[in-house]
Copies of this chain bind each other. A is one copy, B any other.
Amino acid sequence: MGINALLERSRTLATPGLRAAVDRLAPPMDTVAAYHFGWIDATGRPSAADGGKSVRPALALVSAEAAGATPETGIPGAVAVELVHNFSLLHDDLMDGDEQRRHRDTVWKVHGPAQAILVGDALFALANEILLELGTPEAGRATRRLTSATRKLIDGQAQDISFEHRERVTVAECLEMEGNKTGALLACATSIGAVLGGADDRTADALESYGYHLGLAFQAIDDLLGVWGDPEATGKQAWSDLRQRKKSLPVVSALSARGPAAEQLAELMAADVKKSQQEFEDFDEEEFAARAALIEEAGGREWTAAEARRQHSTAIKALRGVEMPEVVRGQLIALADFVVVRQR
């Protein structure tokens, strides 16, 4: 199965479960969630907007197959992980003040901050509910892994926010933050299907390791897109990470370099953290372009691209210890390849 068929299958298998979960929410949360997922527009009319790439559900289904189970076994895991992922998007967009996601206004922008908080909370609770109502010991183990990943995800968001107000962040600190914020949930997605399919802890841990490093590769690419991504493709503003003073990999790796570009960047950034958010947002576009150019000149772009390749390769290596059908291994490798070449 090619990558597009794999992603399409995960949408076909997981979306009905996701919709059924959202239907359980009390009004108006069901409508707000349906808007977030792109199933309706802001006026309530059905729409078929971009609901995201479905990488996590795809991983959860292949994960079940890695343990010798059917892809369907992984569906509750795929739904639960997707619910947690979207819970974090709803809350992060509000905390970060992001107005656009997937080419559409974010939930807090359309339905207000209270709904973004509430519906996020509800999706998080639903994720646990979906798993626990299976009532099996495997579901209990899966929920435990999901809860642990969610805690790391929240730790990662806390670190990400705190970095915005710091002048210097080391590459190691940034990698730890990104491992929490993105690696942990991708790791969970990659093991949850196998856990539901009865895999032992050793297999689940090896799959988690693949997912964790894949998550770091994913985030490295995301960091590149956050500075140099085409707004038409990403659905976000140009220079979006720079606008928020994110200490992402291109920035911290550039700052850790030597030479005039790194020094000039460090000076600008030291002044930037002292500015108010409003002052900062009122920058001319050229100011962001200048920062992006300095990051590139100091080697931050190249280092981050290389880091994505390193993490991709570490992810693939983690699969070596796991026995699985060769076709499934091929699918996990295809998913890893997809993550490092994506443009959005």
**B-contacting residues of A (Cβ < 8 Å)?**
24-29, 87, 91, 94-95, 113-114, 117-118, 120-122, 124-126, 128-129, 132-133, 135, 137, 139-140, 143-144, 147-148, 150-151, 154-155, 157-159, 161-162, 180
Contact = CB atoms under 8 A, between A and B. Distances in A.
Given A26-B155, A95-B118, A128-B147, 6 more contacts: A114-B161, A118-B158, A133-B144, A137-B137, A140-B140, A140-B143
A151 B125 contact: yes
Contact of A124 (B113, B114, B121, B132): B121
Contacts of A150: 125
A155 B123 CA distance: 11
Nearest to A90: B117
B125 A154 contact: yes
**Which of A87, A144, A157: most chain B CB closer than 10 A?**
A144
Contact of A147 (B29, B94, B125, B161): B125
Chain A to chain B: the 5 pairs with minimum beta-carbon distance, closest first: A26-B155, A95-B114, A140-B140, A132-B144, A128-B147
Main secondary structure of the interface of A (DSSP, over half): helix
B162 A27 contact: yes
Given A26-B159, A27-B162, A162-B27, A148 B129 contact: yes
A91 B26 contact: no
A296 B144 CA distance: 50
Contact of A121 (B91, B133, B137, B139): B91
Nearest to A177: B26
15 contacts: A24-B151, A26-B159, A29-B155, A94-B117, A95-B117, A113-B113, A117-B117, A118-B157, A122-B155, A122-B158, A129-B147, A135-B144, A137-B140, A140-B140, A143-B143
A278 B158 CA distance: 32
Contact of A28 (B91, B117, B162): B162
